[in-house]
Structure formats: structure tokens, C-alpha cells
Amino acid sequence: MAMCSLFQANLLLTYNGQETSGLEDRRKQAIDVFLKVSGVLECAVKNILPRLSKEGRSKIPADLKEGVLHALLMQSLGQSVEIQLGLAIENVKATLAVKRRLACEQVKCFLEAFGDIQALGVGGIWGEKHLLFISWKLAEAKAAAFYFHGLMLAEGTEEDAHGNAIVSLETANGYLKESQNLSVKFSSTFPRTRPAPVWGTMKYLTEKIPWDLTNKKRMYRSSKHKEKFPGQVAQLPDFALSLHPEEFKLPGILSKSDA
């Protein structure tokens, strides 16, 4: 049920590079589906697997282990936040703070999913493909988070504000390049899939990150005051997730009198 719904959500996000009408509605529908998926998976992790005997749990296929199900749960939440971020970018009223928060929440989701898959060491062609997908989405999320974090830092009045902003934007640019490499690797890894078109959030970031990085460096060099350039990247803010799985309850077993 969860996997069929994931497929449905990703179909809603399919983009052919030309269509523009109805995209916003489809993205909102996809969020609803992703939240339902995460609810089903949360129910499986919290209410079904714990009821199985130790022997029963040991016989579960690798792709249905608790870690894999939890990774899919966090992946669903992460993709929901990713869509929210895309809608915020298109909304002129959305503030930098809102965009940064969403991007940081996206990082948190995919980082947790990555940890689940990596800890399990799920092998096989599907395990490798899934790990590549999570790695790719994590790199995209980090590129967005460090980009918006850098823009927020640039608005600061501290003496080293521009220096901190540049380091953050350079980090974002590094993750952007990493995500592009992982996208190619994901599509070329067996079973091969069609390369994903660059659109929405990533099209925006692909254009904006290099431009803003170059612009901020130019401003830094031309500034009259001497700023102390930071030696390391500032940590991203830690935000609690604003999205939660939609509650899912297993249907009760009908008695003969109810049937």
C-alpha cells in the first residue's frame, strides 16, 4: 500500500519540461499522498513490527526491515518538505527565514533516512539504488539549506557577516555540484532510469547559487573594511519538523455478525 502510494506521489511530480498549468495543484496533492504514506509506514514500524516474535522478525525480507521502512517514512516527509520549499520559493511573500527553515527540515529528514539505510547495509541492486537516491536528495537539501543560510547571514550586521555568508554559499555550491554528480550516477546505475529534468527548486538553485556566490565575493573584495574570514562553515540551525505523518489505523477485524 505504501509503495503504491509512493509511486502515485512521484507520478504527480513527473515533469516533461513543458507543462505549466496544474503543477501547483499536483504538488499539493503529492504532499497529501506523501503524508499518508508516512502514516502507513509509521503504523508498521510502531504497531506491527513490535508485535512480531523474534523469530518472525528475523524472517522479514531485507527491504521490509524496520530501518528500511523508517527510511521510507523519513523520505516521504523529506519529499513533502521539498515540495513546500518549492512553493515557498515561488511565493513572493515567503521570507528568507521560512525558506531556510524548510530547507533545514528537509536536510533533517534525508539525513535520518540516509543513516537508516547506511546502518542496515542493504545490498542488492535496489538497496544500492535507494541509497544513491537518498544521497542525491540529501545533497540537494544541503545545497538549499546552506544557500538560504548564507543569504540570512549576509543580512547580519556583525563584522564578519559577509565572510560567513561567502563560506556558507561556497558550501552550498559544493553540495550543488555533488547533487548533480549523484543525479547522473543514480540514473546510470542499474536498473537504469531516465535522467531527472532540472526544474522547480533545483532549477532555481542551479541559477542562483553560483550567481549569488560570485556577487558576494565581489562585494567582499571591494569592501573598504577588513573582515575576518571564518575558518570553518557555521552549523545549520536545528528546527523541529513542522510536518508529521498522517495518522493511520489498521482496520479492525469484522466479526461474523458484522460481516
Per-residue model confidence (pLDDT) at position 253 = 47
Per-residue model confidence (pLDDT) at position 126 = 77
Question: What pTM, to 2 d.p., does this model score?
Answer: 0.89
d(CA 143, CA 205): 8
Residue ranges in the chain whose pLDDT is less than 70:
1, 3, 7, 15-21, 122-125, 222-232, 252-259
All 3 cell numbers of residue 219? 562585494
Question: Using N-to-C axis directions, what is the helix angle for 200-222 and 161-188, rounded to 10°?
Answer: 150
Per-residue model confidence (pLDDT) at position 157 = 80
Taking the C-alpha atoms of 127, 132, 133 and 139 in order, what is their torsion angle to the nearest 10 degrees?
Answer: 150
Q: What is the pLDDT of residues 53-69, one digit of tens each?
A: 888 888 888 778 899 99
Per-residue model confidence (pLDDT) at position 231 = 57
Residue ranges in the chain assigned as alpha helix (H) = 2-12, 23-43, 54-58, 66-90, 96-120, 124-154, 161-188, 200-222
Per-residue model confidence (pLDDT) at position 254 = 40
Q: What is the pLDDT of residues 130-149, one digit of tens each?
A: 999 999 999 999 999 999 99
Domains of the chain: 2-13+21-222 (1.25.40.280)
**Can you spell out the DSSP letters for 43-79?**
HIIIIIGGGS-HHHHHTS-GGGSHHHHHHHHHHHHHH
d(CA 49, CA 47): 6
Per-residue model confidence (pLDDT) at position 230 = 61
CA 56 to chain CA mean position, Å:
33
